Amino acid sequence: MDSSLFQLLNYGVYGTAILVMLIGLYGALVKKSLLKVVIGLSVMESGLNLLIVALGYLKGGTAPIFSEGFLNGSNKIMVDPVPQALVLTAIVIGFGVTAVALSLVIRLYRHHGTLNIDEIRNLKW
Amino acid sequence: MKKVIVILLLAALGFYLGTTFFNIGFGDPHFANGVKDFYLKETVDNLHVSNTVTSIVVNFRGFDTLGEVTVLFLAVTALGSILYKRRHEVGTRSVLFSSSSVVTAGSKLLFPAVILLGVYVFVHGHLSPGGGFQGGVIIATGFLLMLLSYENYSVSHKWLSIVESLAGIVFAGVGLLGFINGGTFLQNFLPTGVLNNLFSGGVIPIIYIAVGFKVAAELTGVIYTVLHEKGVK
């Protein structure tokens, strides 16, 4: 691959992952609705997962699966499987966190009748 | 005012992260190479599993996956207990959709195919991309489709908890059998077979099938609980 194109990809992939993380963090910090705060946390987690998977990439590598095509083919480079396995765990834990957070939001809505942080006085910062 | 502070903070964080990661470089080998090569070699030579990610998740870090499944179970239990309701409040759905006959007929047609795809994904977890967690999520989306198109479609909570408990017992039981036969918890004790065959990889397919059933039952339970949440008048 052309080296300047690859340099662009370098900035693009890491830049996208960091941008997604920052967008999620912005949403979690600024938004008034509790539902949007939970969505922001979930978006931030997606960016972090993207960043970890991108770290494991090797130039010219294929997916770490020893299929027939890989065994008979000429390309013998594989990307790092360890970050992918870590991200698989992180996604499941992220699901658990989101589920519990959403159930707490539902409970708060049942109690206060609103999701606005300013109106739920105990949560103001 | 708050927004300005947050944006300044995020800009500083973005600058710091950006300079750090742009110096690392995309596609360069920057992890200790020995770890990756050990996993790849061991997977193909001794375990005869095609998918290296599966072999890491279920075999090398199997105990971690057992903990992960436990965390998922705890999250679902916490969701159920936070959204606890007294008996006379249960029964009515708060989230109701009037779906057209196209949607109901189509989802009835699509439901077996979705379940079949989920089963395929977790049975072939050691051969192709996918695995227990992914297959379980696909099955749960099938149940979500049915719950969204039929107002009075119901899933038995008793059966969900039976499937979930049995799958958890199978996972822990396979681990204990490895303890008896091989010496350590979750040790592989079955013959590993030939690479790229359906019956290969020792205990990995058994564990991933159990994980698939467990995740499917848990996610279906979550969807069912949240859909039956009653709104405030």
* Chain B residues within 8 A of A25 when measuring between CB atoms: 10, 13
Tens digit of each residue's pLDDT (9 = 90 or more) over A86-114: 999 999 999 999 999 999 998 888 888 88
A–B: how many Cβ contacts below 8 A? 138
ipTM over the 0.90 cut-off: no
Chain mean pLDDT for chain A: 86
**Out of A88-92, B89-93, B105-109, B116-120, least confident range:** B89-93
Cα separation of the two ends of chain B: 36
Count the domains in chain A: 1
pLDDT at A48 over 90: yes
Q: Which of B53, B128, B133 sits opposite A84 (nearest CB)?
A: B53
Span B211-224, average pLDDT: 92
CA B3, CA A87: separation in Å to the nearest integer? 31
Span B74-99, average pLDDT: 75
pTM: 0.87
The nearest CA of chain A is from the CA of B100 a distance in Å of: 29
Any idea where the domains of chain B sit in the sequence?
50-227
How much is the pLDDT for B95?
63
Asked if A93's CB is within 8 angstroms of B39's CB, the reply is no
pLDDT at B231 over 70: no
pLDDT at B233 over 80: no
What CATH number does residue A36 fall under?
1.10.287.3510
Chain mean pLDDT for chain B: 86
Domain extent for A61: 3-123
How much is the pLDDT for A97?
93
Tens digit of each residue's pLDDT (9 = 90 or more) over B11-54: 999 999 888 888 887 777 777 667 888 888 888 888 888 889 99
- Optimal mutation site among B8, B19, B24, B36, interface A, most CBs of chain A within 10 A: B36
